[in-house]
Structure 1
Amino acid sequence: MTDRSPQPPSPIAGIDPARLADFARREASRYTAARPKAAQALDQGAQHFLNGVPMHWMRDWPMPHLPLVAKAKGARLTDIDGYGIDDFCLGDTGSMFGHSPDAVATAIRQQARRGLTYMLPTKAALQAGALLTERFGPFKWQIATTATDANRFALRVARAVTGRPKVLVFNGCYHGTLDDTMVELVNDQPANRPGLVGQVQDLTRAATVAEFNDLAGVETLLKQGDIAAILTEPVMTNSCMVLPHAGFHDGLRQLSRQYGALLIIDETHTISTGLGGYTRVHSLSPDMFVVGKCVAGGMPTAVWGMTAEVAERFNAYDATRPPGHSGMGTTLSANPMQFACLAATLAQVMTPENYDHMERGAERLAAGLAKSIRTHGAPWHVVRVGARVEFICAPGPLNNGTEAAAAHQPQVEAAIHTALLNRGTLIAPFHNMMLVSPATKTRQIDRLIAAFDEILTALFA
């Protein structure tokens, strides 16, 4: 006879679904009971914003309602309900060096007395240019406000100097809200990512997609002769993190040269790797380099640079184009406040000593999380890139964007994020990312590890 008895539901990331649902309900109730002031303030004041938030990404936090921050310093937040919070999100990398580093806060106060913007350079601009070259390599630099803008401008230059239309990106990538990169593989073919608001153009006319770590797939696309640039992070981030295979970056460099495409490295998240980012630590040699977020200590700033050879090619192109708008630059970019903060960060915050502290702390954090995962027999793994650590609720390692998407477990992650905040720790809302800053204390790391272990005990007991 066929057994027709009901089958138990499949585990979610190794967790019994009923146990997970019960845990999530308890943690949500605990959070709501603990933060009545934030709830009341939001009820009274959030209606002026679309959907109650000043920037729609804030809706991605998984807790029942947002906390309201009263102040932040170093690696600690304090909310209006009086809770001190160990901050491992750090503005999703924007404050990777801690909230309001002293050198940056001093630079802001001093520059505020001299003016905020005037579309002319300062001595600090010249200092920042020299420091950028010292930290990241001999590129010819330009300043933007966001990494999205920096990537957009870099792609314009790449298309100008190569005369080619397309950018090659990797499936599951993230390079800011840049249209050209909002493509993915569907049945092995490039397609617009679903969910793009108001998207009317076919983005695949100017972009194509390969899987990360697939050099054969990259070469197949490059052979078509229409690729202006390969735009990539050294490590896939803003998803379940994917590390490069041995030889992958050397292969990209060789293929880009062989087929005449420029190689653009976006270090906006992987600046966590060490001094000079992944590019300097691992001796990569891109044609163009982009970094944003924390490069000016939290002041909205991004930088993009090109090698002298690419600069020469661009200048030759620029001399022949008709006069008029270039499609690059924004009025408030390269303002004196950016340069004051950029110079202070590069000279006094982004130091070997601070990176050493971050590396040691992140190593401790990764080891502690991995030990807890092993102890509880969770089918999960931990990945680290310098000061950046992620726990991934699936076996690993992951090889590409398709595997990273499949490893994402929103129900589990949402419950854990709220539970960690209930225990005094904040991690990034979009994935399980944690950063160790120069201000992060060993006791904060140990509190996070202990909270994580307590949560896994509840989920896997």
Structure 2
Amino acid sequence: MASPSPGIDWIKARALMAREREVFAGRHPRSHALSQRAERHLLYGVPLHWMIDWPTPFSLFVESARGARFRDVDGHECVDFCLGDTGAMFGHAPEPVARAVAAQCAKGFTTMLPSEDAAVVGELLAARFGLPCWQFAMTASDANRFVIRWARAITGRDKVLVFNGCYHGTVDDVFVDLVDGQPVARASLLGQVYDPREHTVVVEFNDLGALERALAAGDIACVLAEPALTNIGMVLPDPGYWQAARQIIERHGALLVIDETHTISTGPGGYSQAHGLAPDMFVLGKPVGGGVPCAVYGFTDTVAARMKQAKSSAVPGHSGIGTTLTANMLAMAAMRANLEAVMTDGAYRHMFILAERLATGLREAIAQHQLPWCVTQLGARTEFQFTPTPPRNGSEADAILNTELEQLIHLYLLNRGVLITPFHNMMLVCPETTAADVDHLIASFGGCLAELAQPVENQP
């Protein structure tokens, strides 16, 4: 449900949206033609249906992407603060990754056998994230499916606990929300033939009492969690929350699985290393290969021993874990190059400085127009939210979402050469983002607020 968004002149805002849609259409005739052509053979005219979630009147088609920018087919260059919703968090086609992938292409793509890169990547992951054992997947969705299966196998328990408003890809088990305090299977989930509430428990983030009560039944195999919610708007953990939660989870015999696919923005070792979470299992998807499809999951020696026992005790045959292209040689080459030469301490220092510059500029623009909004930052990830104080759980974050207002701001920015994530208001900086890029975003954002906000003297 959309919030009322005090301080916004909705008559002006809707007129502005109509104008911005016309501007976009006039600037992108080739994208329009390609969109019409694609509609003949692609569902909704796009390769994946969610590509129509952007606020544009038709799909924007990209010609090329490099570093912090992309060029569309009509020749417009855009500074990219979406970065593939974290998939290109370290920039589009980072040079070390591009070289490694090109070299590997000449030597083969996939064999169902390990390359030398596999051994090196395992060492790099263990050193960076503090977990000794690793396995691979094609996407974080797959990695989360696999760790849930492993957790059930080694604990003998069937239930998974997630937090309301979480994001863990397309894993069926996680599509359970809390509505008025009651668990509800997410209505948008297509083709769901069983009730995920049979095997999934959902509680609010930052509620230690709810976590304790849910785990007390003794039937939860693992707690699958982002260390900070990132997909319903950012929700940061309360001070001390994870230290207390970790003790509760361990006391009740469940495993803690931390999914850092988005929160790798926190630092080179993710939120877990920066804040001492010490998970039993750890998932990282999109960014780890520099944009090449791949994912990893790591685990402790204790969990590894239990996994080996479960596998050796099972009947021989397909485990349901892994796919034919998992850990292919292209992905391994990309991960090695990205971990060695792109995801560096220096890159993160640059990103943190610019993210702080962005957060400060956004706050100043919001304050200038006296809007009751806040800005939340997690390392290289920044987001403005339509509430004066940051939300503490998924229900609070959901209550402040306003799709109409989001789309207006996003389209306004896009027409001025700035792309941010199409759902809520998330922005990322990458190692090749510049201070001028950040200032351009801040100025464009301020221009948008000047056009849609009520005059300060007329605000309540």
Same fold (TM over 0.5): yes
Query: Which position in structure 2 is the counterpart of 1:435?
Result: 428
Question: Aligned equivalents of 1:46 and 1:351: distance in 2?
Answer: 42
Distance in 2 (alpha carbons) for counterparts of 1:38 and 1:125: 40
Aligned to 1:16: 9
> Which of 89, 95, 108 is equivalent to 2:101?
108
Task: Determine which of 261, 264, 267 is the counterpart of 2:257.
Answer: 264
Separation (CA, whole Å) in 2 of partners of 1:266 and 1:135: 15
Task: Confirm whether residue 253 of structure 1 aligns to residue 246 of structure 2.
Answer: yes
Tell me how far apart the structure 1 counterparts of residues 145 and 368 of structure 2 sit (CA, whole Å). 45
> 2:31 corresponds to which residue?
38
Offset of 1:13 from its aligned partner? 4.5
| Structure 1: distance between partners of 2:109 and 2:6 | 50
Check the 8 A contact 1:234/1:270 in 2, yes or no.
Answer: yes
Give the corresponding residue for 1:47. 40
The alignment partner of 1:47 has SS state of coil
Tell me if the contact between 1:13 and 1:394 (Cα under 8 Å) persists in the aligned partners: no
The unaligned stretches of length 5 or more in structure 1 are: 1-9
In the alignment, does 2:329 pair up with 1:323?
A: no
The answer as to whether partners of 2:175 and 2:196 remain within 8 angstroms in 1 is: yes
Instruction: Output one character per residue of 1:289-314: Cα deviation in whole Å (capped at 9) or x when no partner.
Output: 00000101000010001100011112
Q: Which runs of 4+ in 1 moved over 4 A?
A: none
Corresponding position: 1:208 with 2:207: no
1:128: how far off? 0.6
Cα distance, 1:394 vs structure 2: 2.1
Cα distance in 2 between the residues matched to 1:147 and 1:93: 12
| Equivalent position amino acid for 1:182 in 2 | F
SS at structure 1 position matched to 2:135:
strand
| 2:63 counterpart of 1:84 | no
For 2:4 and 2:326, how far apart are their aligned partners in 1?
A: 49
1:288 aligned onto 2:281: yes
Q: How does 1:106-185 map to 2 (within 5 A)?
A: 106-185=99-178
Q: CA deviation at 1:386?
A: 0.4
Instruction: Find the partner of 1:334 among 327, 331, 338.
Output: 327
**Letter of the structure 1 residue corresponding to residue 9 of structure 2:** D
| Alignment check: 8 A CA contact 2:38 2:46 kept | no
Q: CA shift at 1:186, angstroms?
A: 2.7
Query: Does residue 386 of the first structure (1) align with residue 379 of the second (2)?
Result: yes
Is 1:305 aligned to 2:298, yes or no?
yes
1:400 to 390, 393, 396: 393
Q: Aligned pairs, how many? A: 452
Q: Percent identity?
A: 51
Helix, strand or coil for the counterpart of 2:375?
strand
Aligned to 1:5: none
Q: Which amino acid letter does the alignment assign opposite residue 426 of structure 1?
A: L
Give the TM-score normalised by structure 2: 0.97
1:11-38 Cα shifts (integer Å, max 9, x gaps): 5343122121111111111111111121
Q: Does 1:219 align with 2:209?
A: no
Match of 2:365 in 1: 372
* Cα separation, 2, equivalents of 1:180 and 1:67: 33
Assess, with a 3 A threshold, how the Cα gap between structure 1 residues 257 and 45 changes in structure 2: closer, same or farther: closer
CA distance in 2 between counterparts of 1:225 and 1:12 reads 43
TM-score normalized by the length of structure 1 = 0.97
| Structure 2 CA distance for aligned equivalents of residues 297 and 246 of structure 1 | 32
Name whichever of 447-456 and 19-28 sits farther off. Answer: 19-28
- RMSD (Å) for aligned C-alpha atoms: 1.1
Q: Name structure 2 gaps, 5 residues minimum.
A: 456-460
Q: What is the CA–CA distance in structure 2 between the aligned matches of 1:175 and 1:89, rounded to whole Å?
A: 18
Q: Quick one: structure 1 residues 45 and 160, their matched pair in 2 at CA, closer, same or farther if it must change by over 3 Å? A: closer
SS of the equivalent of 2:25 reads helix
